[in-house]
Amino acid sequence: MATVLVTGAQQGIGRAMALAFAATGADVAVNYLDDADAAEAVCAEIRARGRRAVALPGDVREVATARALVQQASEALGVPEVLVNNAGIFPRVPFLAMEEAEWDAVLDVNLKGSAFCGQAAARAMVAAGLPGCIINLSSGAVRGNPLGAHYASSKAGLIGLTRSMALALAPHNIRVNAIAPGLTDTAQPRFGNDEAELADMARALPLGRMGRPEEIAAMAVYLASAAAGWVTGQVYHINGGSYMP
């Protein structure tokens, strides 16, 4: 494995993925939005593992930025053979109170950003004659969420995007899959839930606990590996048994 680009990699699942790929021998481009110190700390951990890393600021909702991230990663580390579309936002808002700008912001980051980062990465892979792998982060929220109609819609849209990209890119030997995490121990579920509420939510899961970011990252490493060479267009629900489609 040569170069991996992970969006939104300064914390949480993205950080775990960046470190997991570095552990397999990859060089990693760490995209972040607004926390340069956190991104540089991730890069330092990657370098401590003997791999190269570069921190790349940028808001993936901007198409020009999505394309620039792939170009910058290519110049610093080589054309990415793996892209993880992890960047996402989930501002809670009741459906009846939702404004157009709130809807647009979530769809722009979560869905449009993934589409155009994926397009840019695939174009670079094709131009370089490289096989590749794109992993999109969906969510167990595809079941619906009363405070996240925009979020659930974006994550459901990512499943359609994943399948469409998989069909379009298969002739180029680029595989595209999605991971849909359930309740995972990151900052995201702590918005609007205190620790006692999180503990109750975790106990209600069939496996009785929250997932760890490293467990989501392990699936990404598998999907990018030769062991998954005949896997494309699939959605993997990693959720402790909370959702069994």
* pLDDT, tens only, 90-142: 999 999 999 999 999 999 999 999 999 999 999 999 999 999 999 999 999 99
What is the set of active-site residues? 151
Alpha-helical (H) ranges within the chain are 12-23, 36-48, 63-77, 100-107, 113-128, 149-169, 195-203, 213-224
pLDDT of residue 1: 65
* Nearest alpha-carbon partner for 176 in 127, 214, 119: 119
Averaged confidence pLDDT in the chain: 96
Q: Please tell me the predicted confidence (pLDDT) of residue 163.
A: 98
Produce one character per residue of 132-152: b if its CB has 16 or more CB atoms within 10 Å, e if not: bbbbbbbbbbbeebebbbbbb
Domains of the chain as residue ranges with CATH: 3-238 (3.40.50.720)
- 38/191 Cα distance (integer angstroms): 19
pLDDT of residue 225: 97
205: tokens are 């899961």
What was the pLDDT predicted at 70?
A: 98
